[in-house]
């Protein structure tokens, strides 16, 4: 699918926020200049061909467990050979080309050892945790 934004445009806007750039003093006077820089940096690093994102907090809520740290998830996805990035829309969301069953496997591994909670077998979380790896 096509990118939701033009990466060249994001880079051109980001360059105007760099110290010493033409007009950068005007940008620094903005109250939200640091937030704008962070958003632009995230956009520049985001996977442009993955339009959807996964919210780890929602997946954790389904399994009734604490969210795994994002570095853990990103490293595990990358180790499996897939691409992964942050999402500019949610600090706890990631974008990846990994299949959804792999993501649930990672959450199953994370939950199994740390939060051995019994969920009803007919609940969504119980069905997910009931599958064997």
Q: For position 124, what pLDDT does the model report?
A: 76
Q: For position 74, what pLDDT does the model report?
A: 94
Which parts of the chain have pLDDT scores under 70? Answer: 1-4, 17-31, 115-117, 133
Helix (H) or strand (E) holding 43: helix 33-45
Structure tokens at 3: 């990118």
What percent of the residues of the chain are helix, what percent strand, and what percent coil, each to the nearest 5? Answer: 50, 10, 40
Q: For position 84, what pLDDT does the model report?
A: 95
pTM over 0.85: no
Q: For position 21, what pLDDT does the model report?
A: 59
């Amino acid at each position: 699918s096509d990118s939701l934004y033009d990466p060249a445009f994001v880079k051109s806007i980001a360059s105007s926020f760099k110290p010493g750039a033409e007009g950068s003093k005007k940008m620094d006077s903005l109250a939200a200049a640091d937030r704008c820089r962070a958003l632009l940096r995230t956009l520049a690093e985001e996977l442009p061909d993955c339009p959807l994102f996964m919210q780890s907090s929602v997946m954790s809520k389904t399994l009734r467990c604490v969210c795994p740290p994002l570095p853990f998830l990103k490293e595990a996805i990358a180790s499996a050979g897939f691409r992964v990035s942050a999402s500019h829309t949610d600090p706890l969301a990631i974008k990846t080309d990994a299949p959804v069953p792999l993501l649930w496997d990672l959450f199953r591994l994370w939950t199994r050892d740390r939060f051995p909670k019994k969920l009803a077998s007919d609940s969504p979380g119980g069905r997910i945790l009931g599958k064997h790896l």
